[in-house]
Amino acid sequence: MFDAPASAPAVDLDAYFRRIGYDGPRAPTRETLRAIAVRHPDAIPFENLDVLLGRGISIVPADIDAKLIGGGRGGYCYEQNGLLKRVLQALGFQVEGLMARVLWMAPEGAPPRPRSHQVLGVTIPGEFGEGEVWLADAGFGGCVLTAPLRLFSDEVQDTPHGKFRILDTQTGGVAERRVQADLSGRWATLYHVSQGGWAEVDYEQANFFTYTHPSSHFTWSMTVGRTTATARYALKNNRFTHRDLTGAVVEQRDLSVDELEATLRDVIGLPVEADWRPVLEKVVAWGTPA
């Protein structure tokens, strides 16, 4: 298991903003948060290649920065939102690490799942000075948020990539907030956000479980996503899906090894390495998970 740092070091904001292509204001405002939320998942894809390559996932800040900023790679939630949290804190935002139960694509009435997804609660002063908590999440694959959402509002909220809403719910009698996306008129649940913050050290065990435990789908399937200004792109093993801003499928097909390698490089924007080839061959052999 990787060692968790006692305290998170500062992030190189100039390097991060070059990575996401942002040169706007750096004041801790809703406008700044919105600008980062839409650029981050375009420049830094979601991916779990290192799990399948047997490299493990370090959430030590220096390792995250070397991979996601310096190395041109992507990552999953603990990497993505760990980085985003330090960026927002460096800008002067009040940020709390939260955890969520993923229910994306789960059948109705399925048993509760454990908390396994890191998200962020960002407090921004309101019109009269009171703090308003916004949900930020740069690490949810093909349905990543491209705008912050009011965490404690039941209203439908618009983003550059569709409508979302957040409702009260419970799991085992514990109050949570249900985050849902409008998929062509059908509300689909992404996850339940648990109230109460997590310390950085708390994420270490959850991360270790995610990249090692046989029940974690990241250990036996490839999940990749990038969301641009005009589209969402997703790979589930070798099944490629391109959706437009309305969520409608523009293209969906299974890729060969060569096509998969080209898509990772040219569409997702990853620096494909030579030693990925055997893993990509396995991914194509596995096919699309049920």
Which of these is catalytic: 40, 137, 143, 161?
137
DSSP category for residue 114: P
Q: Which of 65, 77, 143, 161 is catalytic?
A: 77
Active site residue 77: yes
Rounded CA-CA distance 87/81 in Å is 10
Nearest Cα to Cα of residue 10 among 67, 81, 112, 86 = 86
Which two three-digit tokens encode residue 70?
């310096």
Cα separation, 30 vs 106, whole angstroms: 32
- The answer to whether 222 and 237 have CB atoms below 8 angstroms apart is yes
Beta bridge partners, 186, equal: 183
Q: Is 143 a catalytic residue?
A: no
Catalytic position from the list 117, 143, 161, 192: 117
Q: Which residues are tagged catalytic?
A: 77, 117, 137
